[in-house]
Amino acid sequence: MNLFKRSFLLFCCIFLSQILKAQDAPYTMGFIPASISEVDVAFPLIEKWHLSGQADLQLVTQGAYTNGNPFEYTQRKVIRPWIIYSGFKNMKLWLGYAHNQKYAIEEAGNYKTLENRIIVMGTYTQEMPKGSLFEQVRFETKFFDDRNGNPQTIPRLRARFGVNHYLRQSKEKPIFLAPNIGYYTELMLKFASKDYAEEHFDIFRLSVYYTAGITPNIHFLAGVIGQMQLRTNGTQFDVYYGPMVSVKYSVKPKERETFDSVDGGAD
């Protein structure tokens, strides 16, 4: 994890030197370990219309600036249902709603609030001989009360690029089915009112993970995530890093699950 932290920090420093070099604010940085656990259930709805559904349950925990335990505090609990259209070749369209219960963590500066999101997302996948590439664009609007009790409505634009490498299976009866190594980068921009946050930059995220099937219906993901987020004061960057696990049950069996839309929600 220390190697991942150093590599992520180096990458973020190079990235930020480009996007912030024209600005004069005295930026500071804090490190917060975090963990993300998710359980997803996918099911068909109306197959002749290419419609399916998915329900996600997510738990995010974290430490603090002086606490290195990523499981110390509960940051949020998320319920996220989706409706998915897959009638286009190599493309899926998603319509979703996310119910985020956030908890106060005084040591990390987090306050308690209930956040709801309306989400529209599109994922385009390009199949390769031994893997796949995917590009994803997500538009979401966040509704919540800020720390002063003022209602906020914040649109956010997210763009993700990822790669899946299909691993070979040499054993006749392998422990795991159709394994992959995947990774993605993601940039998020927020469009808040000036009195809440002046900067549009929100989050830059990296993730690397291993995915495979336990059965044709059950697949899992295990990996690490790192992200840099600009606080609303416009001068403090929080760097979250830590483990990420996800288990997905599909009512309709799948040969391979690449988790292209898995959501690292530590923000």
Tokens of 149: 């009790």
Domains of the chain: total:
1
Structural domain contains residue 256: no
Average pLDDT, the chain: 90
The string of pLDDT tens digits covering residues 53-101 is: 999 999 999 999 999 999 999 999 999 999 999 999 999 999 999 999 9
Structural domain contains residue 6: yes
Beta bridge partners of 213: 177, 219
Q: How far apart are the first and last CA of the chain?
A: 20
Structural domain contains residue 267: no
Measured distance CA(196)–CA(185) in Å, rounded: 27
Poorest-pLDDT segment among 5-14, 71-80, 251-260: 5-14
Q: pLDDT at position 22, please?
A: 44
Q: Other C-beta atoms within 10 Å of 188: how many?
A: 20
Structural domain contains residue 147: yes
Structural domain contains residue 7: yes
Task: Give whole-number Cα distances, 176 to 40, 132, 167, in Å.
Answer: 19, 19, 11
User: Any idea what the CATH number is for the domain that residue 103 is in?
Assistant: 2.40.160
Find the domain containing 44 and state its range: 2-250
The string of pLDDT tens digits covering residues 177-221 is: 999 999 999 999 999 999 999 899 999 999 999 999 999 999 999
Mean pLDDT: which of 24-33, 91-100, 230-239 is highest?
91-100
DSSP conformational letter for 22: T
DSSP conformational letter for 1: -
Structural domain contains residue 138: yes
Structural domain contains residue 234: yes
Task: Give whole-number Cα distances, 180 to 58, 61, 71, 144, 150, in Å.
Answer: 22, 26, 27, 37, 44
Measured distance CA(124)–CA(144) in Å, rounded: 30
Higher per-residue confidence, 219 vs 260 = 219
Structural domain contains residue 98: yes
pLDDT at 174 over 70: yes
Q: Other C-beta atoms within 10 Å of 223: how many?
A: 21
Phi-psi region of 124 (alpha: psi -120 to 50; beta: other; left: phi over 0): beta
Q: Other C-beta atoms within 10 Å of 225: how many?
A: 24
Q: Other C-beta atoms within 10 Å of 241: how many?
A: 23
Nearest to 134 by CA among 168, 177, 165, 175: 165
Banded model confidence at residue 46, pLDDT cuts 50, 70, 90: very high
Region 111-115: what's the mean pLDDT? 96
Banded model confidence at residue 29, pLDDT cuts 50, 70, 90: confident
Q: Other C-beta atoms within 10 Å of 214: how many?
A: 13
